[in-house]
Amino acid sequence: MQLEAATIDIGTSRPLVLLHSNDAGELGAHPLDRVRIDHDEGTTTGIVKRTDELVNPGTVGVTEPLHHIHGVVGVTLAGTPQSVRYVRKKLDDIELEAHELEAIVTDIHENRLSDIELSAYVSAVYTNGLSLEETKHLTEAMSGVGQQLRWESPVVADKHSIGGVAGNCVTPILVAIVAEAGLTMPKTSSRAVTSPAGTADVMEVFCDVEFAMADIESIVDETNGCLVWGGGVDLSPVDDEIIRAEYPLSVDPTGQLIASVLSKKRSAGSSHVVIDIPYGEGAKVESLVAARELADDFKRVGVYLEMDIACAITHGTDPVGRGVGPVLEARDVLAVLEGAEDAPESLRVKSVRLADMLLEHCGVDASAADILNSGRALERFRRIITAQNGDPSVESSDLEPGTESATVRASRAGIATRVDNRQLCDLARRAGAPLDVCAGLVIHQTVGNEIALEEPLYTIYAETTTKLEEAKTLADRLEPIRVRSKADALVERR
């Protein structure tokens, strides 16, 4: 069928084509079927949407990924990608072979899967999991797609936290320390998936985080390190598409998590990586046994990919730092680097410990505490901010949260017996984080604190009254900081 291509301005990353119902009927094309489009530049596959109003008969509407298509084109019905069969196979809990996983990765990268099919893949992995062999092959396939960074240094340092702990923004501090110690550390980070702020969201408070490959190389040549968004440079781009499908459900299945982290690290050219695995009640990993199993899997996949992986199993029962949300976490980061008296000690201690671990892992004899305390890490951080088009003169006191706020206070006197990271993150997201960069929480208590009646537990910040009220309504139903009498606290410990 010959149709006239017309540009349709609908925001989507999928290659959707709009067909008038008359034309779709003549082709035998149903919604979400695929059509082959033969045009001047070659052949493209599109996913069908039927309409009676948005396009006229004789016209095919092409969305943003297909805006390069113009003029009269040939449109014919196309078959379903083979990878859809493999997604169904995974839904049936059948282990996938390397070539089957590679086909899924390739079709995701080439935009051949509809959003429903991509969601089915995410659901299958979440429900049925991935074996170690599947995880190895998936990681290899994902890292083989997209751009690759390569460095002259034989040792390229990196670090990643699996998340799940509120305010755990160690990475900017660690990068500044390690880069100042002379190591190459091109840190690519994700935006938030299930948290109120990813490292890229926090760094965007200070400077730009989206750069082309050549710009990243220049920044690292100048400063030894960078803190950029991995999705902006096409490193393991399939990971970003999968994260897009995971985000609405707030899921992050284990095998996919490993593939996500290590495919990005491999694409970034990292050779020595420290993985932070927090565990505890309310964290992503709730038991020490599960944390050790995850660490072993990370190391096994690392060996398969010829990457040197070390894992830090850390306590995740308490938030790290006080702020939760982009601006509030950025303020904590800068306070630690500045050596401010009111800087959160938990964030400083964890940053130093992980930095020391990474330095030792890379064979560098240096003290992270000395580099931090001397102010050299702060100067290195300011150099990175400058190289990434930010303002190096910014100070922690300059960073203000949202103007709308409410403080939740203790309804009884006692002891804080639990701080629930998941609930705190839910509250910060309800307040608007990470899209509203000034939204989030400030946490005033940690486990073990003695708390008086009406003493502040946490403060919610939002950019609008509506979102503050939504967060307060949720806070009324939750108990993110549990306060019990001394007698009840003693029973809980037993």
Nearest to 137 by CA among 242, 311, 256, 244: 256
Tokens of 345: 């000690």
Is the confidence at residue 433, as pLDDT, over 90? yes
Instruction: Mean pLDDT check: name the lowest of 79-93, 198-212, 236-250, 464-478.
Output: 236-250
Sequence ranges of the chain with CATH classification 3.40.1030.10: 157-396
Three-class SS of 387-431: HCCCCCCCCHHHCCCCCEEEEEECCCCEEEEEECHHHHHHHHHHC
Q: Are the C-beta atoms of residues 326 and 204 closer than 8 Å to each other?
A: yes
Catalytic residue among 158, 201, 215, 252: 252
Q: How would residue 422 be classed by pLDDT, with cut points 50, 70 and 90?
A: confident
Instruction: Mean pLDDT check: name the lowest of 120-129, 138-147, 234-243, 477-486.
Output: 234-243
Strand ranges, E, within 40-169? 42-51, 59-62, 72-78, 157-161
pLDDT of residue 403: 97
Mean pLDDT across 269-280: 94
Pick the residue with more confidence: 198 or 177? Answer: 177
pLDDT of residue 193: 67
Is the confidence at residue 493, as pLDDT, over 70? no
Tell me, yes or no, if 365 is annotated catalytic: no
pLDDT of residue 194: 67
Give, in words, the CATH class of 2-78.
mainly beta
Tokens of 456: 């502040």
Digit-coded pLDDT (tens) for 55-105 = 999 999 999 889 999 999 999 999 889 999 999 999 999 999 999 999 999
CA distances for 401 relative to 26, 57, 101, 325, 346, angstroms? 57, 52, 44, 9, 21
pLDDT of residue 490: 63
Mean pLDDT across 446-461: 96
Nearest to 272 by CA among 245, 233, 299: 299
Q: Which residue has the tokens 């751009």?
A: 147
Residue 381 has a CB neighbour count (10 Å cut-off) of 26
Q: How would residue 479 be classed by pLDDT, with cut points 50, 70 and 90?
A: very high
Whether omega before 278 lies within 30 degrees of 0, making that bond cis, reads: no
Side chain identity at residue 124, one-letter code? A
pLDDT of residue 452: 96
CA distances for 321 relative to 166, 256, 344, 439, 450, angstroms? 8, 28, 5, 16, 19
Classify domain 82-129 by CATH architecture.
Up-down Bundle (1.20)
Mean pLDDT of the chain: 93
pLDDT of residue 283: 76
Sequence ranges of the chain with CATH classification 3.90.1170.30: 404-493
| Pairwise CA distance, residues 323 & 94, whole Å | 43
Q: How would residue 9 be classed by pLDDT, with cut points 50, 70 and 90?
A: confident
Q: How would residue 492 be classed by pLDDT, with cut points 50, 70 and 90?
A: low
3-state secondary structure of 61: strand
Instruction: Mean pLDDT check: name the lowest of 12-16, 266-270, 292-296.
Output: 12-16
Tokens of 485: 């009498």
Sequence ranges of the chain with CATH classification 2.40.40.20: 2-78
Digit-coded pLDDT (tens) for 316-326 = 888 899 999 99
How large a percentage of the chain has pLDDT more than 70? 98
Digit-coded pLDDT (tens) for 341-361 = 999 999 999 999 999 999 999
Is the confidence at residue 38, as pLDDT, over 70? yes
> At 323, phi and psi to the nearest 5?
-85, 145
pLDDT of residue 348: 97
Tokens of 83: 């990878």
pLDDT of residue 96: 98
pLDDT of residue 227: 96
Strand ranges, E, within 331-436? 404-409, 414-419
Tokens of 171: 């990475």
pLDDT of residue 87: 97
Is the confidence at residue 131, as pLDDT, over 60? yes
pLDDT of residue 319: 87
pLDDT of residue 416: 95
3-state secondary structure of 25: helix
Nearest to 124 by CA among 145, 95, 99: 95
Nearest to 319 by CA among 197, 439, 403: 197
Options 3.40.1030.10, 3.40.50.1100, 3.40.830.10, 3.40.50.1220; CATH of 157-396: 3.40.1030.10
pLDDT of residue 303: 97
Non-local (6+) Cβ contacts of 344 within 8 A are: 167, 320, 321, 322, 332, 335, 336
Is the confidence at residue 195, as pLDDT, over 90? no
Non-local (6+) Cβ contacts of 99 within 8 A are: none
Q: In what order do the strands lie in the sheet with 157-161?
A: 157-161, 272-279, 308-315
pLDDT of residue 233: 81
For residue 125, give the H/E element and its range.
helix 115-128
How large a percentage of the chain has pLDDT more than 90? 80
CATH superfamily of 404-493: Pyrimidine nucleoside phosphorylase-like, C-terminal domain (3.90.1170.30)
Q: How would residue 336 be classed by pLDDT, with cut points 50, 70 and 90?
A: very high
Q: How would residue 297 be classed by pLDDT, with cut points 50, 70 and 90?
A: very high
pTM greater than 0.75: yes
Digit-coded pLDDT (tens) for 18-27 = 999 999 999 9
Q: Is 416 exposed, middle or buried (0-12, 13-18, 19+ CB in 10 A)?
A: buried
Is the confidence at residue 494, as pLDDT, over 70? no
Mean pLDDT across 295-303: 97
Is the confidence at residue 112, as pLDDT, over 70? yes
